[in-house]
Structure 1
């Protein structure tokens, strides 16, 4: 057992939303060797359930786990680990990347360099086909753009977007897009958002991310993956980070450090539209993603906000409750022989232990 004092906030997540995270994970990559261990702050009043859960790992479902809990009356930060994993190791965070991208876009909105309800094609006329001329920046961020799903091809970002539109046109000829009518969680929105950042600023996406978020928050262990199999996902899912960096980012984002009040409110604006049938991240059949890319979900009578992501054999999540200000960050590596249902159940158990028990 080691001691890792720090200060922080609070969070949570719902079962069905968590289910989308754990489904279809790849076999786990090799982790940094370390004995199975629990690491915590000396004040563990609110972390006993997490400690008890981690003490049972690794098992046939989870090979390794890191869970951090902070805020909500705790005097410091709790960090627990199990299996061969470092308490603040660096992991691919998958779709948590989207929230970083959206924060950069909202900063550009705050600077009046783009409008939240401005058509995206005004800046990227050669990228979006003419029948998507009405898609707005807001619709990219809250996943109501009705863009086609991304082609999973290892190309540069513009190549991914072009291939996605070409594949959709070939597979669904004559389709008329209907932006703003339904929410369909879609990674192509984040590819286009990253390209929008580059077009508006005249600099690379990673340069702007570093200048606006990573350096100001001292997130020294966050950046694009060096693994080509992960890095191709770019502004949609290409980042690697640590639990500590993710927690610091979430605290700053929800605490108003990254955005002025006028743009901060977009983090909690969810469109009043239905969710697409396959949009399993939103459990009630209605939209749950905000204009800042966060999921807003009710759990045990509390509203919580955050994001999940999975990549390279890891599944991660960052969530926070706006009423009692508790945050949690988790990263799990599933056993290669575990089933998707077992993985969903384990993610649910971890989050419940961290935030509701």
Structure 2
């Protein structure tokens, strides 16, 4: 039995439908610069503390924010509303950065080339029309793969049904990988299957032995809640603010990748962002070959990733040079609009990092 087959059997036992696959909230991007730089008296933890003092409100029911970095020992953690400071939370699409780190480790080991087409590795999954799609294009979302389909739970079926549905809905469509960036969770499903094919082991086992155990992330792992676990390598992890900060710091400090591959974390393709791509704040691509978003906040370059799952929005960000890192977990209010939620995320990240 192949690792993919074992994954299918293991996950299929939950019997949970994947109806949320295309209706789950997309990852929330941090909009570009719009507000003035905070004054010295309100920078960093002080600014976050002041913001949290205004919560909860109609936009945010609860919040948990961790700020770490230069001059912050120990890191600052603040909360508002009903939220446990030491609890585990679903982190949604932040999972993608963990998945991409595993793929880049395999690239560093020479087990797959970053610009190698992936179809020969997964011929039973990827149609011939997508024969040119490379590992890099999965990671930086320029693969032009179709959107995930609504199918019963299991990663293999998600991928297969997605291509089948796209062929039916768009007969004769000619894929154009490498020409535009379209944030798409199917890339991460395929990346997870690629890890299994290359290593001969289940994705969750590789994630554990390559990332979680070496970094001591004892509170991070695939969710046991089938409503969340369906997202697998795309968005199925639960974690804590401390674990997420440990991961982000290790990733950016080069403790997970050798120097020759560390550069991929910051390689953003010189292509436009698709018009329907709401994850990037401008018309240019913003995701790197390591799955990180490059965002400009008042002239400060920051890198990170957002996610949404289980009623929470999450995010990890760091300013250039890691002078500051932030982790946030926000529970949106029932009546909050997407625009209001994006503005709140922007406010939190600015308060945390622009100090």
Same fold (TM over 0.5): yes
**CA distance in structure 2 between the aligned counterparts of 1:313 and 1:60, rounded to whole angstroms:** 15
Could you say which residue in structure 1 is the equivalent of 2:16? none
Q: State the secondary structure of the residue aligned to 1:166.
A: helix
**1:111 aligned to which of 102, 109, 112:** 109
Q: Which moved more, 1:331-340 or 1:223-232?
A: 331-340
Q: Deviations over 1:28-50 (max 9, x none)?
A: xxxxxxxxxxxxxxxx9731111
Equivalent residues, number? 319
- Structure 1 residue 117, shift from structure 2 partner: 0.5
CA distance in 2, matches of 1:45, 1:150: 41
- Is the partner of 2:29 in helix, strand or coil? helix
| Distance change >3 Å, CA 259–CA 80, structure 1 → 2 | same
Aligned to 1:17: 29
Partners of 1:45 and 1:17 in 2: how far apart? 22
1:218 is matched with 216
Q: Is the alpha carbon distance of 1:117 and 1:345 closer, same or farther for their aligned partners in structure 2, counting shifts above 3 Å?
A: same
How far is the alpha carbon of 1:324 from its aligned partner?
5.1
The equivalent of 2:22 in structure 1 is none
**Aligned equivalents of 2:339, 2:306: Cα separation in 1:** 17
Correspondent of 2:49 among 40, 48, 51 = 51
Task: Spell out, residue by residue over 1:182-223, the C-alpha distance to the aligned partner (whole angstroms, 9 max, x if none).
Answer: 110110000000000000000000000000000000101111
Q: With structure 1 as the length reference, what TM-score do the two structures score?
A: 0.86
Cα deviation, residue 19, structure 1: 6.1
SS of the residue corresponding to residue 69 of structure 1 reads strand
Corresponding residue of 1:98 = 96
- Equivalent of 2:74, from 67, 73, 76? 76
1-structure distance, mates of 2:155, 2:321: 38
Query: Would the aligned equivalents of 1:303 and 1:323 in 2 still touch at CA under 8 Å?
Result: no
CA RMSD of aligned residues (A): 1.6
- Is 1:295–2:272 an aligned residue pair? no
Conserved 8 A contact 1:302-1:323: no
Q: Confirm or deny: 8 A CA contact 1:142 1:293 kept in the other structure.
A: yes
**1:269 touches 1:291 (CA, 8 Å); kept in 2?**
yes
Give 1:187-266 correspondences, 5 Å limit: 187-266=185-264
